[in-house]
């Protein structure tokens, strides 16, 4: 049913394959996929490599059109795509950032061990489920006015600090300190506002989740110690969600705007879903400022969820969250555009990096790596599926040279939702997870089946390649104990 891809892939080294620019006349640069031989058959299963080639045709692209080892077919841009565009001559593309602006992952540590949590696992998971709305048609933890939403979208995480939803030290452990300062709410539509104002502090559905996890294996003791994850068996909470209807609507609105720009400016694109606007154009700047609002919303969304999780733990265990050591390890975006400086094409360049299903991975010593992690590198959080494991990594210097400081973001599906529904039943999935000590509280049975562990690629393969290529270093493996799904 799904068409495969038979185009040219030239091996650069063990972990990198190139699509030469000669593949298509319109390509302005090569495509570069971080992948190794065992993953090649999966790569060729869908048309994602063609999308890497398509992105290489876009105006102002700097360096190669890249994709991470968890690459799979997206809309226009592949999921797992990284592309940088020259700030002066390049374009910005809402589709290259994704509908779920600042979809990302947050990890919250605790000072608890598995043996302390086990007796309360069901109560803790249920309390998180109750405190954090999830699933189709659910509103958020708080309902806010349009005016408040405007302030949140502008101020970023400081909005949550001011409201008491965040601890004062939380922003230091969030990418960009939880605020993109170019946010301008006047470029956000009423429709986005209406979708967003009732959804602050909600998980959503699909592959979004909240997991109570334990450190299962430590690979790098020094880095794990810096991150507070050095003890095997210690418990942490991982949250994966984004900007909900607010971001989805901003993306929808500006894809429409950019389609008109493409026609007006006669930008030739192989796929309309790559619709874009020159970064310096009015439309490009309008989208950028709205995208920053979406990103700021998402950080507050994950913050409200953190607030709900801290309260759930405090209520069930009868101790305040600060006494449980529930600080944020880190919070990373994996659908985002960022204005950054990189050394590329022979000099230092200001570029707009699009990461769609890719995570920033800055190394030790980088000014944007939080002070507490400056010696080990910026944490990179890679969720797997609910049955196996997730990984914590840190950015490495080679990422700056090879991938605009980027790494992979997750496992990626290998089975369609329909195929998963044919293959599994909700009861089977739940029972098999329960046998392995994993308790799942899901809003819908469909969600359990579609997100069954077997429907995903092996996340270990993905992080192995990211480490092999030198982009990131594996610090710890996390396994789920309790899972909240939409």
Partner 1 sequence: MRFEEIDHTADVGIRAYGQSLDELFANAAEGMSSLIADLSTVKPVGEVEVRVTADDIPTLFLRWLSELLYVHETQRFLFSSFDAHVAGTALVGHARGETIDKSRHELKLAIKAVTRHGLTVDPEKGFAEVIFDI
What is the contact surface with partner 1 in residues (CB under 8 A)? Answer: 1-2, 45-46, 72-76, 79, 98-100, 135-137, 139, 191, 194-195, 198, 204-206, 245, 248-249, 251-252, 255-256, 259, 271-273, 412-419, 443-447, 450, 486
Q: Least distance from C-beta 201 to partner 1, angstroms?
A: 16
409 an active-site residue?
Answer: yes
Residue by residue, what is the 3-state secondary structure of the chain?
CCCCCCCCCEEEECCEEEECHHHCCCCCCCEEEECCHHHHHHHCCCCHHHHHHHHCCCCCEEEEEEEEEEEECCCCCCEEEEEEEECCCCEECHHHCCCCCCCEEEEEEEEEEHHHHHHHHHHHHHHHHHHCCCCCCCCCCECCCHHHHHHHHHHCCHHHHHHCCCCCCHHHHCHHHHCCCCCCHHHCCHHHHHHHCCCECCCCCCCCEEEEEEEEEECCHHHHHHHCCCCCCEEEEEEEECCHHHHHHHHHHHHHHHHHHHHHHCCCCCCHHHCCEECCCHHHHHHHHHHHHHHHHHHHHHHHHHHHHHHHHHHHHCCCCCCCCCCEEEEEECEEEEEEEEEECCEEEEEEEEEECCEECCCCCCCCCCHHHCCCCCEEEECCCCCCCEEEEEECHHHHHHCCCEECCCCCECCCHHHHHHHCCHHHHHHHHHHCCCEEEECCHHHHHHCCHHHECCHHHHHHHHHHCCCEEEEEEEEEEEEEEC
The residue among 172 and 259 lying less far from partner 1, judged by its C-beta, is 259
**CB distance 39 to 465 below 8 Å:** yes
Q: Least distance from C-beta 454 to partner 1, angstroms?
A: 13
The residue among 47 and 473 lying less far from partner 1, judged by its C-beta, is 47
Q: Report the C-alpha gap between 192 and 185 in whole angstroms.
A: 11
The residue among 74 and 387 lying less far from partner 1, judged by its C-beta, is 74
The residue among 21 and 248 lying less far from partner 1, judged by its C-beta, is 248
Of the candidates 364, 471, 351, which has an alpha carbon nearest to the alpha carbon of residue 407?
471
Q: Least distance from C-beta 207 to partner 1, angstroms?
A: 9
The residue among 132 and 161 lying less far from partner 1, judged by its C-beta, is 132
Q: Least distance from C-beta 347 to partner 1, angstroms?
A: 36
The residue among 29 and 273 lying less far from partner 1, judged by its C-beta, is 273
Q: Report the C-alpha gap between 232 and 4 in whole angstroms.
A: 42
Q: Least distance from C-beta 357 to partner 1, angstroms?
A: 10
Per the residue annotation, which of 72, 187, 409, 441 is the catalytic one?
A: 409
The residue among 372 and 414 lying less far from partner 1, judged by its C-beta, is 414
The residue among 21 and 485 lying less far from partner 1, judged by its C-beta, is 485
Q: Least distance from C-beta 339 to partner 1, angstroms?
A: 25
Q: Least distance from C-beta 42 to partner 1, angstroms?
A: 10
Q: Least distance from C-beta 140 to partner 1, angstroms?
A: 12
Positions marked active-site: 409
């Amino acid at each position: 049913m799904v068409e495969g891809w038979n185009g040219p892939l030239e091996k650069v080294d063990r972990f990198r394959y190139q699509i030469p620019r000669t593949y298509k006349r319109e390509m302005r640069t090569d495509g570069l996929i971080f992948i190794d031989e065992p993953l090649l058959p999966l790569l060729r299963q869908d048309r994602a490599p063609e999308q890497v080639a398509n992105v290489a045709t876009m105006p102002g692209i700097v360096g190669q059109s890249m994709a991470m080892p968890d690459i799979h077919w997206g809309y226009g841009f592949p999921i797992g795509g990284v592309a940088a565009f020259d700030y002066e001559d390049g374009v910005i593309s809402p589709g290259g950032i994704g509908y779920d602006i600042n979809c990302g992952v947050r990890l919250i540590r605790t000072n608890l061990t598995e043996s302390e949590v086990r007796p309360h696992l069901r109560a803790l998971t249920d309390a998180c489920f109750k405190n954090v709305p999830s699933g189709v048609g659910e509103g958020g933890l708080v309902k806010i006015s349009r005016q408040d939403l405007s302030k949140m979208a502008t101020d970023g995480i400081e909005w949550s600090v001011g409201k008491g939803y965040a601890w004062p030290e939380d922003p230091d452990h969030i990418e960009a300190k939880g605020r993109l300062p170019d946010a301008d709410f006047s470029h956000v539509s009423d429709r986005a506002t209406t979708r967003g104002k009732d959804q602050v502090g909600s998980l959503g559905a699909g592959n979004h989740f909240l997991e109570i996890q334990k450190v299962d294996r430590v690979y790098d003791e020094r880095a794990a110690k810096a991150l507070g994850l050095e003890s095997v068996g210690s418990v942490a909470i991982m949250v994966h969600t984004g900007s909900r209807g607010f971001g989805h609507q901003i993306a929808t609105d500006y894809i429409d705007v950019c389609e008109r720009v493409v026609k007006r400016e006669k930008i030739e694109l192989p796929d309309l879903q790559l619709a874009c606007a020159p970064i310096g154009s009015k439309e490009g700047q309008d989208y950028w400022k709205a995208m920053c609002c979406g990103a700021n919303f998402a950080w507050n969304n994950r913050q409200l969820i953190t607030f709900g999780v801290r309260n759930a733990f405090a209520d069930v265990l009868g101790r305040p969250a600060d006494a449980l050591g529930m600080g944020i390890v880190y919070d990373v975006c994996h659908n985002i555009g960022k204005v950054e400086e990189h050394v590329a094409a022979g000099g230092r360049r200001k570029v707009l990096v699009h990461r769609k299903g890719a995570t920033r991975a800055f190394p030790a010593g980088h000014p944007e790596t939080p002070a507490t992690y400056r010696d080990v590198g910026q944490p990179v959080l890679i969720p797997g599926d609910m049955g196996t494991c997730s990984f914590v990594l840190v950015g490495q210097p080679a990422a700056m040279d090879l991938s605009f400081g980027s790494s992979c973001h997750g496992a990626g599906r290998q089975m369609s939702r329909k195929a998963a529904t044919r293959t599994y039943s909700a009861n089977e999935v739940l029972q098999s997870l329960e046998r392995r000590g994993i308790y799942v509280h899901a809003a819908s049975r469909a969600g359990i089946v579609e997100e069954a562990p077997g429907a995903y690629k092996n996340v270990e393969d993905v992080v192995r390649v990211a480490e092999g290529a030198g982009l990131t270093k594996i610090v710890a493996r996390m396994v789920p104990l309790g899972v909240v799904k939409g």
